[in-house]
Structure 1
């Protein structure tokens, strides 16, 4: 399958099974994703695996961020959450926005590779990604920001997520 075919075949999976890639699988995928275009090779990102009880901790942090008691069930929608963190570096050459774009690129490439390897994936965010409670739960550094989570699990048999329509390129590509 070509890269173009993989991109066109990609789907978001809002419901997944309890199967998940192993830690070793994640390491191999993150190694490949580290090849994303990265001016000055700063690697201004990192990935945090959340499994099992870590998802419960995140549920409590989300509710705290929202001013609610108890624990949100949102992190329990998948057996593996991959938190993508923007970790900027001081650079006179590479602005912060460009470094954040690198972190976003890593998240997208991970999503594509996970889908290509047969895993169900969906990118999830929310206002609470930038909250103190959620940042503390992820042990983020002072300058780090949580971009969101890739929710990862097995694709349910017999179920196929709907296909996202492509955008008409004539509306997006122009010349001067």
Structure 2
């Protein structure tokens, strides 16, 4: 084991969320190896309790319409809400797929899906893409669930908004935490 931080630690520490991204986005083919690697997260009983849904083009418009249907807004407020999924040309819906299991409770299956989303966001960042994980009340909306074609055992955990890193954002960085308050030793 090395004495100093590894290159991987430095790359993970450099991760940040990009609330604005450019229209370029990875292709389906470019996503496949990243999804395969993200699928290596800890997964009790190897249930693979997750799936991802790519939303591009008109799918993003339909998502915005589902936001509006759920919120029951009209006029300018509805237009503003409907435009939110258009902030990025690629959204990846994170879906937890709960399987009946005596060994693995539902919360743990949700944790696996969350792990996949987070590792995928790290991999996308490392590949040079801007990413932000967006959640909110819409993840529990019936209209949004219908729009995604979710089954009764599926839960929407949010969307990764993925695109190019804007030139003016390349210099920004996320402030590192002081790890001491978060890591305790049990005597």
TM range (shorter): over 0.9
Q: 1:98 to 1:152 in 2, by over 3 A?
A: same
Give 1:105's aligned residue: 115
Deviations 1:83-122 (A, max 9, x none): 0000011100111111110000000000000000000101
User: Which residue of 55, 63, 66 maps to 1:58?
Assistant: 63
RMSD, aligned α-carbons = 1.4
Partner of 1:13: 18
Which structure is higher in helix share?
A: 2
Cα deviation for residue 158 of structure 1 reads 3.9
Where structure 1 has 5 or more consecutive residues not aligned to the other structure, the ranges are: none
Measured after TM superposition, the shift of residue 172 of structure 1 is 1.1
Note if 1:45 corresponds to 2:56. Answer: no
Q: TM-score, normalised by structure 1?
A: 0.95
Q: Assess if the C-alpha contact under 8 Å between 1:12 and 1:121 holds in 2.
A: yes
Aligned counterparts, 1:84-95, within 5 A = 84-95=94-105
Gaps of 5+ in 2: 1-5
Is the contact between residue 92 and residue 159 of structure 2 (CA under 8 Å) also seen in structure 1? yes
Tell whether 2:164 aligns with 1:159: no
| CA apart distance, 1:161 | 6.3
Please tell me whether residue 127 in structure 1 is matched to residue 127 in structure 2.
no
The separation in 2 between residues aligned to 1:147 and 1:127, in whole angstroms, is 10
Give the deviation of 1:11 after TM superposition: 1.1
Measure how far apart 1:123 and its partner are. Answer: 0.6
Partner SS for 1:148: strand
Larger radius of gyration: 2
Moved over 3 A (4+): none
Matches of 2:176 and 2:107, distance apart in 1: 26
Bigger shift: 88-97 or 42-51?
88-97
Q: Which moved more, 1:151-160 or 1:74-83?
A: 151-160
Q: Which moved more, 1:27-36 or 1:151-160?
A: 151-160
Mean alpha-carbon deviation: is it higher for 132-141 or for 9-18? 9-18
Q: 2:182 aligns with which of 149, 153, 172?
A: 172
